[in-house]
Structure 1
Amino acid sequence: MPFYQQLGTMPQKKHVTYRKEDGSLYWEELFSTQGFSGIYSTLYHIHQPPAVESAKELDIKLIEPWAEAPRAPVHFFTERAPKGGDILSARQYTLYNSDCALATASFSELDDTFYRNARADEILFVHHGSGELHTPYGVIPFSDWDYLVIPRGTIYRIENLSEDNQFFVIECYAPVETPKRYRNEFGQLLEHAPFSERDFRRPQWREPVDQTASQRLLMKTGDRVFEYVLKNHPFDVVGWDGYVYPYAFNIKSFQPIVGQIHLPPPIHQVFQTSGLVVCNFVPRLFDFHPDAVPAPYYHQNIDSDEVLYYVDGDFMSRKGIESGSITLHPGDVPHGPQPGKTEASIGVKDCYEYAVMVDTFKPLHSTRLVERIWDENYIRSWLG
């Protein structure tokens, strides 16, 4: 997020002595990206950040590839996936490539363990649930249909989570940004963007936690998982400033762009990385040309695989979709509305639908979980 933020207390200049009341030092940490060339934040800790009592690799297999998966349109029901687990084991991975991994999760065993994804920015879409995201930067309360964007390397813990919860998880191996075409050369969102800086919720201040008791941290780095035992509580930050921090954005804050005739999916975009884009489908007025066909035209974007996570509403181009359904349409084959949906859209003035779309620029692979929860007849649904 290219917006400067400052919370807590810190010295006027960087890299100078900053002392506690007893005369000892606070410990400065630079949290940087792209070496020292990208955006960064500076944090001031009560205790030394590298203090670790032990580290060991855990024998955890996160993704089971479905090698025989068809390269074809697929519909599967995430509500039928296993539920429950801790911050890592609850993640039910469905699709992945070298740029991302997609999962759903219903957390039921959250404890005092901390978590860090060392290699991926995470986008947690809160389909159902409320709680608080705690990080060294502060606290972000969240509720239904919030996106939580967590930069890679950030230690976090979800607290006070409601029992009935469901998340759509997008792990991105390149930095998550707002779309470049919506920003000026200084990083400020332009007037024609479908959201503004006011829509993003940054961390709220939380008093530093000064605890020297051992703390458990699970760290995911690629497809490996390590258990660290930290000497001190990681939320001991007395102040920080910079451009790298977690934030929240609610899908209902997205202002849809509409036109006289049907506009292509980039108008729905909310996030980007070098390997994918994330789009919102939200309630909106339909196209207002007298002969407009509001349903999307058939298309084949040969450089993208299209994933839709269905949140709520009546989806104008699909039949048999449930809340929590996911469809995958690979770039290898054309796709579009199912029979009858194009005709039914003509003359309709608006729609009520919420969905999250992920378009990747490399082919996606399916896991064995998809094999267990997919609709085998979906590929034949265009036969009428």
Structure 2
Amino acid sequence: MAHYWSAGNIPPKRHTQHRSESGDLYREELMGEEGFSSDSSLLYHVGVPSAVLEARTWELPDQATTPNEPLLPRHLKLHDLFANGEGRDLVTGRRLVLGNGDVRISYVVAADTSPLYRNATGDECVFIEAGDGVLETVFGHLPFGPGDYLIVPRATTHRWVLHGEVKAYCIEANSHITAPRRYLSRFGQLLEHSPYCERDLRQPSEPEVRDEGGVEVFIKHRGTGPGGLTGTVHVVPRHPFDVVGWDGCLYPYAFNVSDYEPITGRVHQPPPVHQVFEGNNFVVCNFVPRKVDYHPLSIPVPYYHSNVDSDEIMFYVEGEYEARKGSGIAKGSITVHPGGHSHGPQPSAIEASLGVEAFDELAVMVDTFRPLDLGEGGQACDDGVYAQSWTSGE
């Protein structure tokens, strides 16, 4: 989805010699999706990007999952998972909350700089709940803060440098993450009815060349471990941040949720109007502060609905989520509404919403088209009583 961009020093024509002022040949690397048939970028390295000195196994954070059985809606209190961020980084400190074969949702509270990291299984979408820092990448660097989505393409070498404690909600795909297709022209431009446009996307800074040797890169890749994942650490002879220039349509970028323009109507609008990204068999939506339904008889909170094809996962970030009033949901909560269970507002929330002109709420939703299992983090912070909240509200 990202549009063409270039940074640093590149030759006038691709796949031709590109040399330094001293005459040394830069190494051209094509980073591309779908077997040279989709988006790509060309990067020009000082060193050899394929070189490896040593390799060892990286024991990934627990990736095992347990089915949501018996089938229940659940309330997960993510803030209970971490007392503080000390001694933890944003990569190795993640705790798996929910997952299936298409997407894994993790949460982390961290304060340390992460190791260099490369996810070789799919794109990552990391939402910053709180805190700030810099996402350093082989393409250049992206400062980030609260409300930012950071989209990191598969196999991008990067690390997270934090300025104090950061709370992050990590959506890891087994596919690529893009803008919804209905918002794109057939050539890939965001259309007029899209709730955001290319101006809202932030590209990396100019690439940085670091002259360091014997550097470790942590790699998550397909393998035989839980969830079909395995970890490896490569020791490389030269720091991966050795790119003098690059161009193309594949690179990390940032997008702040405050730049999302909500779509509203006279009566309640369905969840797809809140969509911001999509991956294979899942979508990402955000519910932002907005004016709500203005029909004289409108009911601003959602009607009861049964997700016959998907599980609905809502992460509550800020404000007061109107439909969940009276259920114990608060900042840092996740609700799990599985396919096969009809859900909707707490009974008392319906009357309370009548006549309300605006909602002051911020939430990130992931809908999956295959059932989600509970990770160790999800099991550890389940309140165990949410399923009864509709009955207690009658």
Q: TM-score, normalised by structure 1?
A: 0.96
CA distance in 2, matches of 1:239, 1:216: 23
Report whether the alignment pairs 1:350 with 2:358. Answer: yes
SS of corresponding position for 1:188: coil
Kindly state the Cα deviation for residue 274 of structure 1 after the two structures are TM-superposed. 2.0
Q: Is the 8 A contact 2:7 2:245 kept in 1?
A: yes
SS of corresponding position for 2:273: helix
Calculate the aligned-residue CA RMSD, in Å: 1.3
Q: What's 1:276 paired with?
A: 282
- CA pair 209-226 structure 1, distance change in 2 beyond 3 A: same
Q: What's 2:174 paired with?
A: 173
Kindly state the Cα deviation for residue 62 of structure 1 after the two structures are TM-superposed. 2.3
Range that drifts further, 66-75 or 272-281: 66-75
Residue segments in structure 1 that go unaligned for 5+ positions in a row: none
**Within 5 Å, which residues of 2 pair with 1:10-89?**
10-67=10-67, 69-82=69-82, 83-84=84-85, 85-89=88-92
CA distance in 2, matches of 1:369, 1:236: 37
Q: Structure 1 vs Structure 2: percent identity of aligned residues?
A: 43
Q: What's 1:103 paired with?
A: 106
Range that drifts further, 39-48 or 197-206: 197-206
Amino acid at match of 2:146: D
CA distance in 2, matches of 1:216, 1:207: 18
CA distance in 2, matches of 1:336, 1:314: 16
Q: What's 1:137 paired with?
A: 139
CA distance in 1, matches of 2:2, 2:60: 35
Kindly state the Cα deviation for residue 320 of structure 1 after the two structures are TM-superposed. 1.2
CA distance in 2, matches of 1:58, 1:40: 28
Q: What's 2:334 paired with?
A: 326
CA distance in 2, matches of 1:242, 1:330: 39
SS of corresponding position for 2:66: coil
Q: What's 2:119 paired with?
A: 117
Range that drifts further, 213-222 or 145-154: 213-222
Q: Is the 8 A contact 1:29 1:45 kept in 2?
A: yes
Residue segments in structure 2 that go unaligned for 5+ positions in a row: 223-228
Q: What's 2:369 paired with?
A: 361
- CA pair 368-17 structure 1, distance change in 2 beyond 3 A: closer
Q: Is the 8 A contact 1:297 1:336 kept in 2?
A: yes
Kindly state the Cα deviation for residue 56 of structure 1 after the two structures are TM-superposed. 1.5
How many pairs are equivalent?
Answer: 381
CA distance in 2, matches of 1:36, 1:232: 27
Q: Is the 8 A contact 1:69 1:366 kept in 2?
A: no
Range that drifts further, 222-231 or 149-158: 222-231
**Within 5 Å, which residues of 2 pair with 1:335-346?**
335-346=343-354
**Within 5 Å, which residues of 2 pair with 1:204-353?**
204-211=205-212, 213-222=213-222, 223-318=229-324, 319-353=327-361
CA distance in 2, matches of 1:184, 1:68: 39
Q: Is the 8 A contact 2:220 2:231 kept in 1?
A: yes
CA distance in 1, matches of 2:385, 2:21: 69
Kindly state the Cα deviation for residue 157 of structure 1 after the two structures are TM-superposed. 0.8
CA distance in 2, matches of 1:206, 1:181: 33
Q: TM-score, normalised by structure 2?
A: 0.94
CA distance in 1, matches of 2:68, 2:351: 36
Q: Is the 8 A contact 1:202 1:248 kept in 2?
A: yes
